[in-house]
Amino acid sequence: MRRAVRVGEILRMAFRDVASHPLRAALSISSFASAVAITVVLAAAGNGLEGAVRGLLRSLGDGQIAVTPGRTTGIGGQRRSGRQVVLRYDDVESLADELPSFEGVAPYFNVYGGGTASRRYSIPWSPARAVSFDYLGVRGAPVIDGRWFSPVECAEGRWVAVLNHGLRRVLYPDGHPIGDWIEWRGRRLEVVGVIQDEAEFPYLLYVPYPAARQIGDARNITGLMARPRGDADWDQAQRELRRVLGGLGGFDPGDTSALEVEDNRDFTTRVAAGTRALEILVVTIAAVCLLLGALGVANMMVISVTERIREIGLRMAVGATSRDIFLQVFFETMVLFAVAGLVGVALGAAACGQVGELRISAERAARLEFDPAVAIASLAALSIVGMVAAMLPARRAARLPAAEALRWQ
């Protein structure tokens, strides 16, 4: 009970000491709060940028291979040169079982010509892509509204549609497309979803493959998307893919012109490397801000303790112990940290909410979201530096004989 009373008295003294030096307290609080606020905003920007780039890479199709039939060159004179390679949908629909290096393979057929219209808006040219149910899983593009086709809808060739985000903006600039209908090639299709797709046509309509076969000859595919397994060797996977497709299309697997095979490893690697470099830059700037804030707090605490050595000597002369001196400085420091920390976190959170988004392209933005973990880490780092700076001179003052401390100038 006695110790609790003593601690309470020291805490009241700490509050009184802070209030008795308003300018010094204001400078310490502003230095600490600005460092915390800047760190919170920079961390939010870094996290938002990382999320935006990750979403961009997903929409561009990271970790996948795109295959388009080409023309043969007649390697070895065994096959006619210049022959257009033809791959049938029925042959490649279940191709994944023959490709152990791949998670999935999804054929598609592009339908050109004709426009698309909603109740109020239309676009004169928007290609459609007929796809299987597995296409979305292989493609990896995120569904941003509604859903993808169901297996039943794909198997039965129902007239349903999924829009890419570009086509949704044109046909439904101020409305909700899910459950509504669009008109395409004289047919009405129910809109069931919207996907974020950056890599294909600006305006693209997806329909089940069997539905497209009802209006035209879609026996032969336009191309296919293939996603290697996470632990697969991509070069080996491409050789495996060429070998299997060569058997189906009647061409030499070594004929590189027979298939146009594109993978985005180099692109996604470069983008990821650039993003990491930017994250390092953001972390470095945040660290510098924290260091400057810590130096400001440390300087103020050193000045505060040094100016009060005579006061400390007087307290020791009337019976204060070293523990009392430490507790007084500690509580005073913690008062400053508590007030400045709350102010800094509030300013950082308000700035994140005010900025909201940082546009990185016409379609994408990095969203600034307040991260409590970053705020706590910033507070902890600055608190440690500030308390160490306060404790060292206080320890030196507490070790001085009372008479010597009273003579301190």
C-alpha angle 188-194-199 in degrees, rounded to nearest 5: 115
User: 372-399 and 22-60 are packed helices; what angle lies between their axes, rounded to 10 degrees?
Assistant: 150
What is the residue extent of each domain of the chain? 2-58+270-406, 65-263
pLDDT score recorded for residue 74? 61
Structural tokens at position 67: 């295959």
**Of 102, 58, 49, which is closest to residue 264 (Cα–Cα)?**
58
pLDDT in tens, the chain (409 residues): 445 446 666 667 666 766 666 777 777 778 778 877 887 888 777 777 776 666 665 555 556 788 889 888 865 444 556 788 889 998 887 777 788 888 888 899 998 877 899 988 989 888 899 998 989 888 888 888 999 999 999 988 899 999 998 899 899 988 789 999 999 988 899 999 999 875 567 888 999 999 988 888 888 999 988 888 877 787 888 888 888 888 888 888 888 888 888 776 666 666 667 777 777 877 787 777 777 776 776 677 677 777 777 777 777 777 777 777 777 777 777 777 778 778 888 888 888 878 777 666 555 667 777 777 777 777 777 677 667 766 666 666 666 666 665 665 5
> Is the Cβ–Cβ distance between 170 and 203 less than 8 Å?
yes
pLDDT score recorded for residue 364? 62
pLDDT score recorded for residue 268? 67
User: Can you list the alpha helix ranges (DSSP code H) found in 256-371?
Assistant: 265-307, 309-317, 322-355
Counting Cα atoms < 13 Å in the Cβ hemisphere of 236 gives 8
pLDDT score recorded for residue 346? 86
pLDDT score recorded for residue 2? 44
| Distant-in-sequence, close-in-space partners of 136: CB < 8 Å, separation ≥ 6 | 143, 148, 195
pLDDT score recorded for residue 352? 80
pLDDT score recorded for residue 298? 67
> Is the Cβ–Cβ distance between 1 and 313 less than 8 Å?
no
> Is the Cβ–Cβ distance between 190 and 159 less than 8 Å?
yes
d(Cα 174, Cα 70) in Å, to the nearest integer? Answer: 42
pTM over 0.85: no
pLDDT score recorded for residue 84? 87
List, as own/partner pairs, every contact residues 47-52 make where C-beta atoms lie below 8 angstroms and the sequence separation is at least 24, other chains included: 47/369, 47/371, 48/357, 48/358, 48/366, 48/367, 48/368, 48/369, 49/275, 49/278, 49/279, 49/282, 49/358, 49/360, 49/366, 50/275, 50/279, 51/366, 51/367, 52/360, 52/364, 52/365, 52/366, 52/367
